[in-house]
Amino acid sequence: MKNNIRVERAIMKISQHELADRIGVSRQTINAIELEKYVPSATVIMKIAFVFGKRVEDIFTLEESDWK
């Protein structure tokens, strides 16, 4: 699953640590999500979208491999 969290963080001028604090996860979790090494739970995905004031689909995109 692709995401544009890093871009959204840059627009809002917040760090990985600040985003992590706002949604209740570790900075390492945010890093792993940004690097596409970890697919977060639906709850975390929705919290991230809420912080950025965007729809989930505006931040996360399914790839062809996600359908297999």
What does the domain layout of the chain look like in residue ranges? 2-62
What local confidence, expressed as pLDDT, does residue 51 receive? 98
For the stretch 2-56, pLDDT in tens is 999 999 999 999 999 999 999 999 999 999 999 999 999 999 999 999 999 999 9
Q: Does residue 68 carry a pLDDT above 90?
A: no
- CB neighbour class for 15 (10 Å; exposed up to 12, middle 13-18, buried from 19): exposed
Angle between helices 27-34 and 5-12 (to 10 degrees): 120
Helix (H) or strand (E) holding 60, with range, is strand 60-61
The rounded distance, in Å, linking the Cα atoms of 39 and 52 is 18
- Number of residues that this document lists for the chain: 68
Domain topology for 2-62: 434 Repressor (Amino-terminal Domain) (1.10.260)
DSSP code of residue 64:
G
